[in-house]
Amino acid sequence: MQMTSSERQTAKLNALRMPPSLWNRLGLPLLTFAGFLLLWEAIVRVGNYPAFILPGPGQVLRKLGLVLADGSLLLHTQATLLAVLGGLSVGFVVATALGYALAKSVTVERALSPYLVASQAIPIVAIAPLLVIWFGPGLFSKVLICALIVFFPILINTIAGLRGVPRELHELMRMLRASRWQIFTKLEVPAALPVLTAGLKVGATLSVIGAVVGEFAGANAGLGYMISVADGQYDVARMFVGVFTLAALALTLYGLVDLIEKRLLAWRQAGLRNSE
């Protein structure tokens, strides 16, 4: 059966049309970003701002090409990424371990909770220079600052996830004579995983902030250091390159955690689809 000309035209349009899921994930953000660039360029042109106050997108793009060509952007990005990954890993391990202890023991919670809550009233920006003085401007102080920033959100989500496991399921596991390790791996971890990964998403973005705070306090490499030096030289285009690189780094980490979450919770999504 041959198709008419109108049917062939409709088929071509359907083939070129972006699927709704791909449009929501890729097309719509790109369109929004293009609108942001146009608005930015319009503000620069209407206000006639000099480059040392507000450079246009084209000037920032040219600066991006320069720092990519001389290798400085890659060098600073690697330094920041190393601090981010180290701080996020340390903060995650310590927060989940302590969160499990707090969720399981009322005594531990009463002993440590006041100090943990009080520690959050101290701005990390205020103690970052002190940590740099104590531990030096090297990698260790940056990792420590990142870990301190991501610690509390992951801790709270770990406690909430573990305490959200229904008591009936715990009783069922005990009736089945499950060991403590089996209860932990077969019940508590899968049940708390959605809340735990949500906390890890928050921690992934906050870890980037922690690295920059540490680099502002004292460093000789990193995106925060690059922005600080560019600020002293009134090189605003280079500052924009650093800021956008930090944003791209945070989005990448968030996307990786989101991908891990979907892989780990594939069984949950399959169960929801089957229930429907």
Q: Residue 69: which domain range?
A: 62-267
63 contacts 238 by C-beta, under 8 angstroms? yes
243 contacts 227 by C-beta, under 8 angstroms? yes
The amino acid at 184:
F
CA dist 263 and 72 (Å) reads: 35
Closest Cα to residue 137, out of 73, 214, 228, 82?
214
Answer whether residue 17 is part of any domain: no
Answer whether residue 2 is part of any domain: no
Pull the structure tokens for residue 64: 């991006």
Q: Is 124 helix (H, G, I), strand (E, B) or coil?
A: helix
Return the pLDDT at 85.
93
Return the pLDDT at 166.
81
Return the pLDDT at 1.
46
Return the pLDDT at 135.
87
Answer whether residue 43 is part of any domain: no
CATH number of residue 83's parent domain:
1.10.3720.10
- Give the count of domains, the chain: 1
Pull the structure tokens for residue 128: 């970052």
Answer whether residue 239 is part of any domain: yes
Burial 237-276 (b: 16+ CB within 10 A, else e): bbbbbbeebbeebbeebbeebeeebeeebeeeeeeeeeee
CA distances from 133 to 16, 215, 271 (A): 59, 13, 52
Query: Which value, in Å, is the radius of gyration of the alpha carbons in the chain?
Result: 24
Return the pLDDT at 13.
46
Where the chain has pLDDT below 70, the residues are 1-27, 267-276
Closest Cα to residue 37, out of 59, 54, 57, 65?
57
Query: Alpha helix locations (H) across the chain?
Result: 5-16, 20-22, 28-47, 57-69, 72-104, 106-119, 124-135, 139-163, 167-175, 180-183, 189-217, 223-232, 236-264, 266-275
Answer whether residue 199 is part of any domain: yes
Answer whether residue 166 is part of any domain: yes
Return the pLDDT at 168.
83
Return the pLDDT at 16.
47
The amino acid at 155:
L
